[in-house]
Every structure is written in structure tokens, then in C-alpha cells.
Chains A and B, each alone.
Chain A
Amino acid sequence: MSLLEVRDLSLEFRTRSGTVHALEHVNLEVAKGETLGIVGESGSGKSVLCFAMLRILDAAARITSGSIAFAGMDMLRASESSLQQVRGREISMIFQNPRTALNPIRRVGRQIEDVLATHSATLRDQLKPKAIEALAKVRIPDPERRYRAYPFELSGGQCQRVMIALALACDPQLLIADEPTTGLDVTTQAAIMQLVSDLARERGMATILITHDLALASEYCDRIVVMHAGHMVEAAPTEALFRAPAHPYTARLIASTPAPGQSIATLASVPGNLPDLRRVDLPSCRFQERCERALPECVTGTLPTSIADPGHLVRCFNPL
């Protein structure tokens, strides 16, 4: 049984300049202990999808159809107080750019204690040892001393470790990592990703990794969902996705990811830009205007979901 199930989710933002159709008919599921990658360009709806899962959406957002179920709980109908029980305890999130996500004027140890005090039954005199233990678990050297540090005293990699310590303090079942290594060096990225995947394995925790880096997703994810302009265009086990991408967009993205020893001449790009999601005349397939395989029905037909292989879904009129 899956831990998280998103069915037919559509979401829009009402703005002064029109309605932004940010997500349309998105389906995905995450199994217990699985690592799912969500990839796509900026603006493809990756983050908004995860905000919807936690119901931490902007006031202008409206979910117009679909359902989100987490461990049998209906996340869209749940009351704010029961959502509070889930957030931080059952589902945690680590954000891009840890320096802005941490409170700059509170010692990092205190911030971990805040999470423990809010979401767990930790006794007051146990808070400090627990917080230090949490810092040690994310392999921060000298945790007793770092407990007293402010975020500005730590490097970017250390701040991200603190964020991970915060997110994992209450042993959640699902961790959502939104571009956890963007802005970090490759060497730090490797250490942070190893830490996340080790901790997930130890605890049997499911992970959603949001990234624009296909190479990173290929290394750490069991399955990958490809998003484009608010549509889920392809979902497949990692190995199958890279061996036989079925959606033209996926194939393009793979070809535009630099590989070792690649030349500039063979590096592809994706033509055009994401369409403006406020348009009323958006084609059925939102990739249609950028696609070299587009057919007449891509504009007005009903977008089909076909199954290339068991577990390999593609939403395309003319798949590869």
C-alpha cells in the first residue's frame, strides 16, 4: 500500500492578471521507504505540488479537483489542527537555501528543541540532550559546541545538516527535500545526499527529492516523475526512464544534461519556454508548442495516459 497518494490533483492561483493553472490532473504515489524524484524546469510545478501535499499553500491557491491521501488520511479535508499533527511529525520538509529557512537569530540547538517540544512528547530536561543527539546524527562535528551556534556561524553545508536534523527530529515517515543541494558545492552535495539516503534507509523513511538535476535524481531515486508546466508528463522506475524515455520532453531533458566527456556540439537544449499558465487557450498538451513530434490532436484532444511498461506511465499523443 502506498504511503502517499495524489489523485487527479488540479490547483490554480487567482491573481490580478488572471488565473494561473499551476497543476492539472496530477497523479502520483509514494510507497513506504521509497525515494521518488520529481524533476522538471523551474516553474514546472514541482514545489507547488509538495506545498499542496503539506497544505502550506498561498492564500491565492485553490485546489479545484482531486485528492491527497497520506497514510489513509484525507489531507484536503483534514482540519488545521490535525494537519499540525502531521506536519513535522509525519511529513517533514527540507528547503532550498537552508540559510534563509533557519531562524537567523535563534541558536540552532534551540531551533531543534522547538521542533521536539512542539511535535514530540520529549520531557523538558531531555530536550537539550535530544537536540545534541540530533546534531550528532547528521554528522555535525563537535555537536555540543554547534548546539550554541547561530546559522551565520555555520557553512552552507552545515546549515543544511541542521535543516535535516530539524526535519528528522521526530522520525517522520516521509521527507520532502526541495532542491536540498542547490547552491552547495559538488563535494558538499555528495556528502549531504549520502547523509539523506543513509538516514532514510536506516529509518525506512520515504523521500521525495525535488530537483532540476536529472543526474542527481538518477543516482538517488527509485522512481522519477517528470513535470512540465503543471502536468505530470512521465513517471517510471529510474532505470527505465533513462533507458527508454517515452515522452519527448523527458528525452530532451536527458539529452541536455551534461555527461562526462560530452562536447558542446552534442549537448541538446529544449526549444522555447514554458507556456504562460494564465493563458485561456493552453493546448491540451502543454509541451505541444516546444515539441518536434506534435500532432494536430495535441492542441485540442483529450490527453491520454498510456502505459509503456508496468509502472511506466506517459501522457503523450505521440510517445517515443
Chain B
Amino acid sequence: MNVLDCVEVKMHFPVGKRALLHAVDDVSFSIGEGESVGLVGESGCGKSTLVRLVARMLDPTAGDIIYRGRNIGFIPSRSFAGTQFRRRIQMVFQDATDSLNPRHTAFDAIAEPVRRLGTAGNLAGQVVDTARKVGLPEELLPRYPHQLSGGQKARVGIARAIVLQPDLLVLDEPTAALDVSVQATILRLLAELKASLGMSYLFVSHDLNVVRMLCDRVIVMYLGRIVEQGPAEELFLRPGHPYTRALVNAIPSIGGRPADREVLHGEPRSPINPDPNVCRFFGRCPEQRDRCRKEAPPLRQVRPGVQLACHFA
């Protein structure tokens, strides 16, 4: 059984009279046991909204969010913390500096979920044990966030997310605020934790090289829709959708030559009341044809495990 199944999930925000912002539109995907799934796309594509839906901090407009066969999508986010599921699905936030309470010590930050949702017995033992798992020296636990380095704060952020032993961890750009000098140690920690604790990951990142290293499968979103999903390695070596190709192509690399790069021009279409008959990538796509503005391409399977939303790929 899958850890998570999202079925035709929609999130539409009302913005003024009869205007709906389609942040997430008909998104369906699954995360298997112990699998790590990467979610990529540019800002405004709906990946943060999707992550908040999965972590049950937002209520979807429509669709099912199914955790181990049980539909949790209809539980209002306000009362979600009172259910048994809250401890199963946890989240690591983007910038550890902004997401840690500056007046809580590292110990308090890690202890908070246990106090609220866990078994109170041996609180200190659980915190120390978790700190050890994430490689945070015990003597740093009484410190406040401003007394910790970026890498140490990232470890605190991970520790408080795993202290209740969730089986689905949602990670929203966990290394974006870190220097490359410490990025590797945090990535290695995440890979080790996944193996030793048997968690599944939904990993959001704009750094495609990082996604490629850490994830088994990758979902590419564009303007609220999934445009491609498939095994990570294959998606990078053989991107099928023109947008995925542009995305993979745009990653700078040491010794790379920008002259070889086809740059994506223009801005995305408006996500407010989008025309259901026009491909969302129309207007920026280097390969667009007439058909693309008469008929939006559905997400279809092109090879086992690979899905694409393009008429011509």
C-alpha cells in the first residue's frame, strides 16, 4: 500500500469577484513505502501549496488526499493536529532561521511536538536521542537559534520533524538557505535518516542536482499542473516535456557553457481563471503549435512509470 495517494487534488483560491486562482489543478500522484519523491518547478507553480495540502495545513477545494488507504483530505486542517495522523506526517521548513522560535532553545524546539502530541514519558531521553540521530551534539541543546550555525539550525529543524517518528516527511527546500560547504552533510544526513528510519520523503527543491541525488522519482509542476513525472535518473537524462527540458538545461555546471543554453523567454500565463482548453505552457513553449491552444494536453503514460502532459513529446 502506498504511503500517500493524491487523487485529482485541486486548490482554488478566490481572488475577487468570480475570479479563482488555480494554484493546484487536478494533481494526482503517489508516494510508495520508503520512496523519496522530488517536486520541482518555478516559483508560483503551486509546489508550496501542494506541500501544504499534503502536510494538511490547507484544505483542498476538491480531491482526495489518502494516507495509507484512509482519506485525510476532508479533515479540516484546523483540527488535523488533534488526529492520530499529525504525528505520521511531519514537515521540515525552508529556512531554519525563520522557522525556529528565537526564544526557544534547541531542546524546546525538539521537545515541543512531543509535549503536544507524543508520549510524555522520558521527554529528555527522546530529545537527546533524536539530537543524536541528526548529529546535533548534546551540549548544543540549551542554545538558542542565534547561537547556532546554519547547519546546526537545519539539524534542529530536522530533529523536531522526526522526533515523533513520522513515516512521511515533507521537506520544503531544506538546503536552500545553506552554504554549499554544509549542504552535503545535511543531504547525507537526510539520506541516512531515510534508510535507518524507513521514512518516505516528499522533497521540494529548486536545485535539480540535489533532487537528482536524493530522489527516486521526480514530479515536475508548471502553473498548477503536473507536466511530467518519472524516475529521477531517466527524467534528467531524457526529459520529455519541453518545460522539463528547459529546466534541466538551465542548471549551471562547472565547465558548462551558457552559449549552448536555450533560454526560456517570457512569463508564465496567469493562474487566474485559466482557459481549460489551452496548454498551460503555451506562450513560452519553444515547440508550441496550433493544437496547443485548442486542446490542453492531458497527463498520459508514455512509458511504464513515465507520465507526460504534452501533445508532441
Contacts and interface: CB of A to CB of B under 8 A. Distances in A.
A213 interface: yes
Nearest to B256: A219
B133 to A, nearest CB: 18
A150 interface: no
Interface residues of A, number: 45
A260 B258 contact: no
A41 B257 contact: no
A258 B209 contact: yes
A189 B150 CA distance: 24
A170 interface: no
Given A155-B44, A212-B180, A264 B188 contact: yes
B35 to A, nearest CB: 16
A157 to B, nearest CB: 8
B98 interface: no
A318 interface: no
B44 A256 contact: no
B62 interface: no
Interface in A16-69: 41-42
B181 A270 contact: yes
B210 interface: yes
Interface in A253-308: 253-254, 256-265, 267-270, 273
B139 interface: no
A212 B261 CA distance: 21
Interface string A75-108: 0000000000000000000000000000000000
Most B C-beta atoms less than 10 A away, residue of A157, A215, A253: A215
A257 B180 contact: yes
Interface string A188-210: 11110110010000000000000
Contact of B247 (A187, A259, A273): A187
A262 to B, nearest CB: 6
B259 to A, nearest CB: 9
A270 B150 CA distance: 13
B207 interface: yes
Contacts of A42: 150, 179
A256 B207 CA distance: 14
A256 B183 contact: yes
Given A141-B267, A155-B44, A258-B210, A267 B254 contact: no
Contacts of A269: 181-185
Contacts of B249: 190
Contacts of B17: none
Contacts of A216: 252
Contact of A256 (B181, B212, B246): B181
Contact of A263 (B43, B151, B213, B258): B213
A215 B252 CA distance: 5
A267 B264 contact: no
Interface in B21-75: 42-44
Interface in A211-231: 212-216, 218-220
Nearest to A157: B267
B221 to A, nearest CB: 12
Contact of B184 (A194, A214, A256): A256
Interface string B246-284: 110111111111100101111100000000000000000
Contact of A190 (B43, B179, B185, B250): B250
Contacts of A254: 254
Nearest to A290: B181
Given A186-B206, A212-B179, A219-B257, A268 B184 contact: yes
B252 A187 contact: no
Contacts of A263: 213
A263 B210 CA distance: 9
A194 B183 contact: no
Most B C-beta atoms less than 10 A away, residue of A220, A253, A269, A273: A269
Contacts of B255: 218, 242
A260 B247 CA distance: 13
B191 interface: yes
B3 interface: no
B144 to A, nearest CB: 16
Interface in B147-201: 149-151, 179-185, 187-188, 191
Given A187-B264, A264-B213, A214 B257 contact: no
B214 interface: yes
Contacts of A261: 212, 236
A143 interface: no
Top 4 closest pairs, chain A to chain B, by CB: A270-B181, A258-B209, A185-B42, A269-B184
Interface of B: 42-44, 149-151, 179-185, 187-188, 191, 206-210, 212-214, 236, 246-247, 249-258, 261, 263-267
Interface of A: 41-42, 139, 141, 155-158, 185-191, 193-194, 197, 212-216, 218-220, 242, 252-254, 256-265, 267-270, 273
Given A42-B150, A215-B254, A264-B188, 14 more contacts: A42-B179, A156-B43, A186-B206, A186-B208, A187-B246, A187-B250, A187-B264, A190-B249, A242-B254, A257-B180, A258-B210, A258-B213, A265-B188, A267-B188
